[in-house]
Amino acid sequence: MSRTGNGIIEHGKPHRLMAVWTAAHDNGWVTSVVENPDGSFAAWAAPDGEGAGVYTIQPDVDGGKAAAEAALQRHTGHDGCSNGCSLWEVRTYAVFDRRRKTESRATVRAAVAARRTASRRGAAA
Ligand SMILES: [Zn+2]
pLDDT at 21 over 90: yes
Please report, rounded to a whole number, the percentage of residues in the chain having pLDDT higher than 90.
48
How does pLDDT run across 96-125, given as a tens digit for each residue?
Answer: 766 555 556 667 777 777 777 766 655 544
Could you tell me the distance, in angstroms and rounded to a whole number, from the CA of residue 65 to the centre of ligand 1? 12
User: Which residues sit opposite 47 in a β-bridge?
Assistant: 29
How does pLDDT run across 48-72, given as a tens digit for each residue?
Answer: 887 767 789 999 999 999 999 999 9
Could you tell me the distance, in angstroms and rounded to a whole number, from the CA of residue 99 to the centre of ligand 1? 36
Measured over the CA atoms of residue 30, residue 36, residue 39 and residue 42, the dihedral's sign is negative
b/e per residue 2-33 (b: at least 16 CB within 10 A): eeeeeeeeeeeeebeebebbbbbbeeebbbbb
Please report, rounded to a whole number, the percentage of residues in the chain having pLDDT higher than 70.
73
pTM given for the model: 0.64
- Mean per-residue pLDDT over the chain, rounded: 81
Residues whose CB is less than 8 angstroms from the CB of residue 104 and which lie 6 or more positions away in sequence, other chains included = none
Closest CA to 79 of 22, 25, 24: 25
pLDDT at 47 over 60: yes
C-alpha 84: how far from chain center: 19
Instruction: Please state, in angstroms and rounded to a whole number, the distance separating the CA atoms of residues 23 and 29.
Output: 9
Could you tell me the distance, in angstroms and rounded to a whole number, from the CA of residue 25 to the centre of ligand 1? 4
Instruction: Please state, in angstroms and rounded to a whole number, the distance separating the CA atoms of residues 73 and 60.
Output: 20
Could you tell me the distance, in angstroms and rounded to a whole number, from the CA of residue 3 to the centre of ligand 1? 36
